[in-house]
Every structure is written in structure tokens, then in C-alpha cells.
Structure 1
Amino acid sequence: MIATPQDRYIQMEQTRLLMKQVPSLALLSVVVALVIAFFITQWVSPEVALIWGGLICVSSALRYWHYRAIRERKITIDNYMNLLVLLVFFSAVSGGLWGALGIILPVTDNVLVMVLTVMLLVGMVAGSLASLSSYNYAYFAYAIPAILPLAIRCLVADDQVLHMVGVLSLAFLLVNMFHSHLAQKAVIRSINLVLENQNLIQRLEFEKNNAIAAREQADRNSEAKSRFLAAASHDLRQPLNAMGFFVAALINAAQTQKVKDLAAKIDQSLEALRDLFNSLLDLSKIEAGVLAPNITSFRLSDLFEEIRNDFATHEKITHINLEIGDSGDAVVMSDRQMLNRILRNLVSNALRYTHEGYVRLYCEPATEHFVIHVSDSGEGIPEDKREDIFREFYQIGNPERDRTKGLGLGLSIVDGLCRILKHRINLISEEGKGSTFSVLVPQGKIEAVEPSITEVGAWTDTRSSNIIVIDDEEYSRAGMRELISQWGHGVFAFENPDEAELFLDMEGIEPDLIISDYRLRNGVTGDKAIRRLQSKIGHEVPALIVTGDTDKDRIMEAKSSGFSLLHKPVQPAKLRSALSYLLANR
């Protein structure tokens, strides 16, 4: 099939996007490989570790040398294809070298080695999704040789746990390949938008001066970036959501403590991946200037209670006193989700740097404002570091970049959101005694408080119910069906409302609850699908909408439907609590 000029242009832009990732990928590979080569000498000979680490370094050096050589030349329609083939080849070599760990390490003989190897390879493959998916063949060339050797070795081993690890590794690979395909489609849509903008600008240049044409191009590029971020955030949330359901189902179905412990470690890694994804996505949106606040009046006590519940099981609560003050009837005017993110980041940061004593969240009234404080009895912040802590990836006392101490994005996100909301933030700190972050938020009006969808708590329900699930993502649908079935409910999952209506006609089963993804195919939304089924049944049935959208307008549309709303990736415990609450109050 002959490629059109537009196809060649898209592939050329994909080549440019891949080239931009080379320096960071090469550096990351070298750093991680050196660390891993040092540690694996516990299980393999130093010669093997040295050869493996050396190969990683050599391949990364060649990759960077190729990047430097190409950077001196311009990527054109005539030379991009050769460059693209080389980039895919380098990805395959890098993936093969990382996948070699699944062969040289004793993963079938040592549970710790198996867990560490799985976490490392899964992390590398998941982390490269955003960097390489602008051209999915580059991602496939990296991910397949990275995961396949370990999966095959586990599958051929004479151990049930290893068989399960092998199956889950292959499932993880397939899910990521699928979403790499979706991410590439989003990139191509973005490139097409840019191409359309360029053609439009060329036509406008005959009628408008250069200044107006440049402004139009900037506006459209910004719109393309907004659409890309919205599409990417939706598509990348899907595998995280499905993985969360599958891991929870695996923990419930595990027959041995060994499998449960392994699944729990995978769940911990998945939670870390969720936090990383959300932090990077928030930072990208702040830097891109695409976040628009939805200012409403709401009770501060509701927000404080959410934070209390979210941190109730934090690992440090056992020896640090988390004090949540009584905000009384305080009503503030802000974007609820953004303010929640600000306070959660401040509390999380305080817990991370406080080793004993307290972390306290409380508010005080001020003139036409409320001042929300987050105080701690931690290490304090040196005076010369108090501006640096709001920079991206900056951390005090973590030169070795220990990822258990976070990425250094929390306070940067706090600063960016406060600037968007125009909330002033102050810091008072004394070394050795602790710190206090204060956020100044305008007072709201009690009569303007909108009735919100009920926030569910720790509800449980042992009764078996019939539940219809509508989701056009196969893995999310399968994961939700498996998990809810384990809770004792009858689950009937469908790709679209047409299939659900046909099922109701044929089986005559009346559902007790309907769950629907918000964005379905062919322009159908979740609220419309639910109302169709309710009309078919003849009366209202409790319903829940689950969405992976982050676009403000789509979220407002979903909220205005009147149905309960959960955001992907949904934590299994929160999903179960929501189902129990809705079923108990139907």
C-alpha cells in the first residue's frame, strides 16, 4: 500500500517525537542498569553482571551517539524512514537486554528474586509506555522482548505460582500493547490537528498579517495539546483501572499465602504507578495551562472528612498522630478537586518528613477568607531551601533519589494549583521543630452550597444482587465482572446498552443496580445508557457512572446526570463501598 503525503508527514513527526525521548531513555537505562548490575551479583557471577551492565551501557551510548549525529541534521521526508527503523531496532535491543534478566536470574528458585525481577520489568515496560507509544512498533519492540523471556520461563516451570506470574505477565504485556495502540492513535490525532492548523494558517496568511496568523496558530496548538492531554489521560487510566480490578480479584481468589503475598506486592507497585501517573499528569496539565477551575461553594468539613478517611490506613499513622481539626460550618469558594489535591499533597508531604509527633490539618477564619493550615513536628525546612522545595523533582535529604520518598512533585503541584486558583500559600518553618503551610481560601455562601452526590463510607452488604455492567473497554469490563462476582453478586457485563436491552428481553431478569462507563462508543454516554435501561425496566434502578475523563466539561456533564460518580482508576474498596451503599438504599 502506497503511503500518502499525509501518512509520511505523520510518520516523520512520530520519528521526531521518538528522537526527543532518546537522551532521557539512554540516561535512565544506564543509571538503572548500573544499580541493578551491582545488586544482582548476589545471585549471578560478577562477570555475568558486568557483561550485562556493559551491554546496556554500550547500547545506550550507541543510541545517544546516533541521536547526536542526527541532531546535527534535519529530519525530512527523505530520511525519516531509515531513522525510524534504527529507533525501533535500538528499542528492540534495549528490551532484549532488559528481558535477559528473566533468563540469567534465578527467578524460579528464589521468590525474592522473582518479585524484584517482575517489579523491575513491569515498571520499565509501564514507564516506557508514554515515551515510546508515539510509534507503537517502537514500544512493541521494547516491551515484548523485555517481558516474554520471564513469562515463558515462569510458564514452563513446575510451580503453580510461577504459572500465574507468567500468565499475569503476558496479560500485562497485552494490556499495555493495546493501550500503546490507543496512545499512538491519540498522538496521530494530535499531529493531524497540527497539520490542519498549518494548512489553515497558510490560507489565513493571505488575509491577515503575520501577528494575527501567529496568534491563531498558538491558539490552535494549545487546543491540540488540551485534546491530546484529555485523550491520553482517559486512555492511560483504562489499563490502570483494569489492572486494579484484576489484582484485587487475584488477592481474593488466591489459594496460598505465597500467592497472596505476591499479589499484595503487585498491588503496592500498582498503587505507586497510580500516584506517579496522577502526579505527572497533573504537572503536565499545569505546565500546559489547560486546567480551568470549577469554582463552587462547599463545606470544608466534607473535604476534611475525605482526607481523614484517605489517610486512615497510612503506614505512619501507627506512630504519628494525624489530627484533623473541626471546621464547623465553614464554607469555602474554590475548585473542590483542586483544593482536595492541594491539601492531600501537603498532608502526604508532612507525613513523609515527620518521624514522630504530629501532623495537624485545621482552619481558622480570616477577613472574608478561611486560612487552612497543615502543620507538623518534623525536620523543618532550611531557610535557603524554602523556594527550592516548590520546584519540580526537588527533594531535601534525598540525593540518592529513593522512590519511597516520592518524586518531588507534590509541592510543585501545590504551587501550580494555588496559582491557578489564586489562593495565596505561605510557609513558616523552624529547623528541628517543624513546618506550617497555610492556604488562604475565600469564604463561600452557605446558600450557594450545591447538594452533592452522597459520599459513601465503609458500607458493606452481604446480600446477593443482580448487577448490569456496561463498558466498551474489554479489560475493564472483564475485571469489574470478575471482582464483583467474587463479592457474591450476579454480574452481567455488556459492551453497549443494545446488548443489555436484548439480555433483558430474553432473560427477564430485573437488575438491582446498573454500572456504566461514561464515554461509550458511537457518541453514547453512560447516563443515556442507564436511562434507556430504566425505561425498558419500567422504573428507576440505582445506578453508578464510572469515568476516566478529566476534561472539565465532560465531568460536569456526568455530574449533572444525577447519578453517583466514581473516577478511574477506581480503588476496589471504594467501588465495593459505593455498590453496598446504593444497594442498601434502593
Structure 2
Amino acid sequence: MPASEPLPDRSSVLLPGAEVERPDAPAKEPARAEPERQERFKRTKFEALARQAVRAPVPMFLAAALTGFVVRNEVPFLSIAIWIGAIMTVVITRWLYSRWAVAHPEGNIDERLRAMVALSVAGGVAAGVGALLFLPHIDMADKAIVTMLLVSWASGAVSTNAAHRPAYFAYVVPMLTPLATLWAMSGTVEGLSVAFLIVMIVVLQTGFVRDNERVFRQSFDIRYENERLIRELQVQRQAVIHERDRAEEANRAKSRFLAAASHDLRQPLHAISLYSASLSVRNADERTAELAGRINTGIGSLSSLLDGLLDISKLDAEAVLPEPSVFAIDTLMSRLASDFRPIAVAKGLALECQYPEGVLVHTDALLLERILRNLLDNAVKYTSLGGVTLSGSVDGQHVVISVMDTGDGIPEAEHERIFEEFYQISNPERDRSRGLGLGLAIVQRLSRLLGIDLRLRSRVGEGSVFTLSLPRARQELPKLEP
């Protein structure tokens, strides 16, 4: 197989046909309006209030029961029972309403927040009535305990209603106002001091609620902004994916077109080469023979170009399907060395071949041979002094094949670019005798297709080494029947 022989055609060339249907590009998400943001914030506040309301029944009952236990010897049981019943009625009502509202989120959020504030007022009034019922009938020690319980009770609203300040005031003011008023009306220094302390506690707690509400708002803003950014990133990602798919489809369409064009042009080109050959063998004058020779040279270059384009196009269009098999690597390497040694000797180069005997590999034999031929062709073509070495070795479960030359070497900055189509380092004049710049592009594509690890090691003035690592086969070659 000569170095310029095209890849085996194992599937039909895909002709460019009807236009490929592409999905519409994802539309940009409209900007979130501020009213929508405020609506979300209100719903988040309501959800926070509802969560606390669902957790409230047991702690509220325990607080009310403990207060009733403290005053049980001085206040009629019926008064205590009615007070606890009123509190629990409000608590259970708020609990039921919160569960219903969470299960039906489509309602008007402003009305729901007002309902929660109203229930907070009812709860604060019910709890605050306890001061009116109990304080006039209990001694100073029990007054201190009840006052401590009610103030602690009210302090719990700092966390339960922190998301919505109106709900906090609606609960704490009607709850503690009767308590502070009764202490102030005692007319004693102690009573006035307690009333003042209750007011100061409410003022301090108001500051805590304001801070908590600000933190709650900041947390919401951060979460909302993160969600917005995530949505934008998702839209951008979909747009990038869509553009990538369009670019890949355009590249596949280009490859199909080039494959079809190269395939269709080869027949008339072959006919021209026959006519040119016929012209060159006739008894023609010197001028005609010279023109025929130039035509043959041009046809050869054009044929090589079309073959390279056809190979690249078939690989890009995924029209080349590997046919893996198990074979001995020494046979392939020996044949390649025999084919390229005369070419190397003609340039004054030495070509050495070192390979392990009897080692089997599992890959596509024809495509691997094409890779090695391209590498050897490049090595011989771009080496002026010294020689080329084709070597193989076993590395565990892999077989490593190297093509080493003593040429000028490749600058490190060019190590990736040399695998691009038509790229040549030292051929700005595009001298066709030095190749077309497609060999290494084909090598890279074939290596990827076969799953072969391709590596390059090269320095300017020290030559280059291309290394292939492919899986070693374990099974025996089938024995021929005698």
C-alpha cells in the first residue's frame, strides 16, 4: 500500500442531501420584573411564618400549662382552663390555616400575610389576658414567675415572626401591654421598674427583629440572584450547545460534500491521466513530450490532494469503520521497513527496524498500516542527514511502536499545529514535492478512531519521535491446516 493510497472505503460516501432540520435556538429568558421579585419575597416570608406556626402547638401548650400550674392555688381552675383553651384555639386555627395555605400556594399573598398578622393579634390578646386574670390574685413571688414566663414567651416571637415585623408587633404588643400596665399601676418603685424593664425588653427585641428581618431579606436576595444566574447560565449553556451542534452539523455537511466531490472528481482525473499517458508514449515532438510530463506531474499532485481530502472527509464524516483483528506486529513492521528502505537509501539515509517477534496486537491492520506509512513518509521526507528508526517494544498490556528521525526537529510551540490540515512548518512556498500537509492530520484522526495513544517528542535540532501505544492481544493466531 503506497503512502498516498486512500483509506479503504467501508461505507458509502454520504452525499449532501436535503437540509438538516435543526431545533430553534433557545430564546432568551425575559428579565425578571421587580414586582415578581417582591411577590416571591412575600411568599417566602409567608412560608417562613407558616413553618413556625406548624411547629407552635406543642411549645405553646407547654408554656400555657406551666403558667397555669404556677397560679393553680390562687386562680380558679375554670379561669385557667378557659385561658388555655382560648390560646390553643388561636394556635390550632393558625396551624390549620398555615397547612392549608402551604398546600394551596396559588392564593393572594397579601391577603394571607394580613391573615397571619390577624392571627398574631388574636394570639397576643389571648396570651396577654392571662396577666389580667392572674396578677391581681397572686402573691409577689408568683407575680415574678408569671412575669418571667410571659416575657420569655413573648421573646420567642423574635424567632417565630422575624421574617415579618408586623406579625411580631401584632403578637408582642397586645401580649405584654397588659402586663406592663398592671406593674406600672401598682404605684411602687418595684412595679414601675418592672414595667420599665418590660418596655426596654420590647425595644431591644424590636432591634433584634429588625436585624433578623434584614438578614432574612439579604438571604432571600442572594438566593434569588443565584437562581437568576443559574437560569441565565442554563439558557447560555443551551445556546452554546445549540451553536456547537450547528457547527458540528455544518462540519459534517462540509465533510460529506468534500468526500462526494473528491470521490466524483477522481474518475475524470483518472481519465485525464490516461489521455496524458497516451500522449506521452506517442511519437511526439520534444515540446509536446515536455507538456505531457508536466501534465502528468500536475495530475499526480491533484490526485494526491484529492486522495488526502477524501480521507480527511471520510474520517470527519465518520464514514470509516474500523475492523479490528489479531495479527503479528513484526510482519507489518518488516514489510514497512522493506518498502521505505530503498527510498531512504536513495536520500543517503539509513533506515533501521527493530521489533519484537511473535507479539500480537488487536486493532485494524489496514488503518494501523496507514498511520505508520504516513509517519515513515514524513520522517524520510523531512530528514536530510542521519536516518530513520522504526522500533517496537512490549510495555505490559500494550505494544509501543515508535518512528524516530534525525531531522531538524519541531519547535514545541508547533507540536499541536502540525496535526492541522495543510499546515507545514518549513514550506511557505507550498512546494508539492514536500507533501500537502495532510499526512499528520490523517494520522491523528486514525489514532483517535482506533483508540491509539499518539505522542510526539521533538526538539529543534534533535529530531522527532512519534510514539503509538496500542493494546496487546492475548489470543493465539489461528493455525493453518496442513
TM-score (norm 1): 0.37
User: RCO higher in 1 or 2 (8 Å CA, sep ≥ 6)?
Assistant: 2
TM-score (norm 2): 0.44
Which protein shows a greater Rg? 2
